[in-house]
Amino acid sequence: MIKVAVLGYGTVGSGVVEVIEGNNAQVSRKAGDELHVKYILDLRDFPGDPYEDRIIHDFTMILNDPEISVVCEVMGGVGPAYQFTRQCLEAGKSVCTSNKELVAKHGAELLETAAGNHCNYMFEASVGGGIPLIRPINSALTAEKILEVKGIVNGTTNYILTKMEKEGADYGDVLKKAQELGYAERNPEADVEGHDACRKIAILASLVTGKNVDSEKIFTEGITKLDIADFKFADAAGMKIKLLAICRSMEDGGVLAMVAPFMIPKDSPLAMVNDVFNGVLVTGNMLGDALFYGRGAGKLPTASAVVADVIDCARHPGKTVVCIWDKEEARLTDAAEMQRRFFVRAKAETAADVEAAFPGGECFAVPEYPGESGYFTPVMKEKEFLMRYQGLGDKVLGRIRLV
C-alpha cells in the first residue's frame, strides 16, 4: 500500500482526497499498488467530514512516519509550506504540489534537494490547473528547442474578462463569483494584479531555459485598469482582450518573460479560450505550435493533476525523474525594448493630439462611445510608446498592447 499525507484541507486538498478515494481503483492500478490517504494536516477540525478521523494538527507525525512515502503540499503560500516541503524531501518523501508561489520561489533548490535524497518534487498542478503542461514540456517536447510559450494561465482573470466582454458585467461582482467558485486566490489581488500568472510563467520559463527565472524580475501588469469601453473598441477592431503570459527565447540567448493584457485577433486560438479555461501555445523549433487547453483552476481539475504526480512518484520509488531547472539565473530581456503596436483610447476631441504623438497609425470610433476615439499606433519600442503616451496626460483614457 502507498500511504499518502495531504498538507492543507482547503479547496485543492479536499479535491485530492476526493480524487484518490473516488477514483481509487483506477489510481491504485496505475500506481501499481493501493493508494491510501493516511493523514490530512490542517489547523482546523472538520466535524462530520467523512475523513474526519484522518485530520491531524501535528506535522511531525507525517515526517516521522516511515509509512508515508508521498506528501501532497496543497497549503499554498511560502511560509510553513517551504519548511514542510524541505523536511519531507530531506526525509526521502516525495512531494507533489499545486503551490505555484513556492515552486516559483524555491523550485530550483527543492528539485536539487529531492534529487539529493532520491525522491521527487513534482508540480504539474502549479501551472494550468488540470491541463498537462509541465510533464509535456519535460518529456514529450524535450527534444525541442522551445522558442515561445504564450498563453492564458490565470482562470480567475480569464473568467472576469469573459464576463466583462460578453455581458458587460461589473468587475467586482464577477470577482466575487470567481471566489465563490473556488477559482480565486485567498488574496484575489494575486490574480487581478497578474502576480499569479507571473509566478506561472516564471515556472514555465525556468523549465524552458533550464535556468532560474526570478518571478520578481518579470514585467507584470494586471487587468484592473481595463474598462468596459476597451472591450467595445476591441470588438469593433476584430480583437479580444486577454491577460497573456509570455516567455520567448531571444536570439542573443536571453529570455523575455512578461504578463500583461493584450489585444489579440478574434481568430487567434487563444481568443477562443473563455471563462475559467486556460490555453497555452508552445512553439518548438521542430514541432511548430502545440496548443494546451483545459480547466485552469478549480478543485477537481487541480486535484487531478496533483494525484497524477502522486502516481508518477509511486511509479519511481527511490528514483528521481529528471527535471532540469538549475539555480543559475537566466538573463532576462527588458520588456521595454520590445517592439509592437499599441491601442490608445482617448477623448474624442483630443484624437488629433494622439495622432500627432503617434503619426502613421489608424484612428477609429465605436457608436456606443461617441465621446471617445480609438487609435492603433504603428510598430514602436515600448519605452518610446510609454514616453509619448505619458506626455499626453489626461487626454488619453487607456492603452493596451497588441500581440
Is there a contact between 398 and 227 (Cβ–Cβ < 8 Å)? yes
156 is a contact residue toward ligand HSE (CB under 6 A): yes
Which residue's CB is nearer to ligand HSE, number 159 or number 233?
159
* Interacting positions 169-198 with ligand HSE (CB under 6 A): 183-185, 191, 196
The residue (of 191 and 355) whose beta carbon lies closer to ligand HSE is 191
At residue 33, the 3 state secondary structure works out as coil
Amino acid at 128: G
Cell of 172: 467586482
DSSP state string for 249-309: E-TTS-EEEEEEEEEEETTSGGGG--TTEEEEEEEETTTEEEEEEEE-SSHHHHHHHHHHH
252-256's contacts with Cβ under 8 Å and 24+ in sequence apart are 252/333, 253/331, 254/330, 254/331, 254/332, 254/333, 255/205, 255/208, 255/209, 255/213, 255/330, 255/331, 255/332, 255/333, 256/332, 256/333, 256/335, 256/338
Min dist CB 169 to ligand HSE, Å, is 17
* By CB under 6 A, residue 230 contacts ligand HSE: no
Q: Which is nearer to ligand HSE, 155 or 284 (CB)?
A: 155
Which of 200, 240, 242, 299 does the annotation list as catalytic? 200
Closer to ligand HSE by Cβ: residue 11 or 249: 11
- Residue number of the CB closest to ligand HSE reads 156
Helix (H, G, I), strand (E, B) or coil at 329: strand
Q: Rule CB under 6 A: say whether 155 interacts with ligand HSE.
A: yes
**Binding of residue 97 to ligand HSE (CB under 6 A):** no
End-to-end CA distance of the chain: 51
Select 42 or 189, whichever has its Cβ closest to ligand HSE. 189
Residue window 284-303: x/- pattern of binding to ligand HSE, with contact defined by CB under 6 A:
------------xx------
Cβ neighbours for 145, distance < 8 A, ≥ 6 positions apart: 249, 284, 285, 286
Cell numbers given for 319: 528514483
- Shortest distance in whole angstroms from residue 72 CB to ligand HSE: 15
Closest contact distance (angstroms) between CB of 270 and ligand HSE is 15
Residue 127 CB, shortest distance to ligand HSE, in Å, is 8
Q: How far is the CB of 81 from ligand HSE (least distance, A)?
A: 15
Supply angle C-alpha 78, 19, 76, rounded to 5.
Answer: 10
Check residue 8 for interaction with ligand HSE (CB under 6 A).
no
Find the length of the chain: 403
Burial of residue 44 (CB within 10 Å: 0-12, 13-18, 19+) is exposed
Question: Known catalytic residue: 211?
Answer: no
The least CB distance from residue 53 to ligand HSE, in Å, is 29
State the binding string over 107-146 for ligand HSE (x if CB under 6 A, else -): ----------------------x-----------------
Binding stretches for ligand HSE (CB under 6 A): 129, 154-156, 183-185, 191, 196, 296-297
Q: Which residues are catalytic, by number?
A: 200
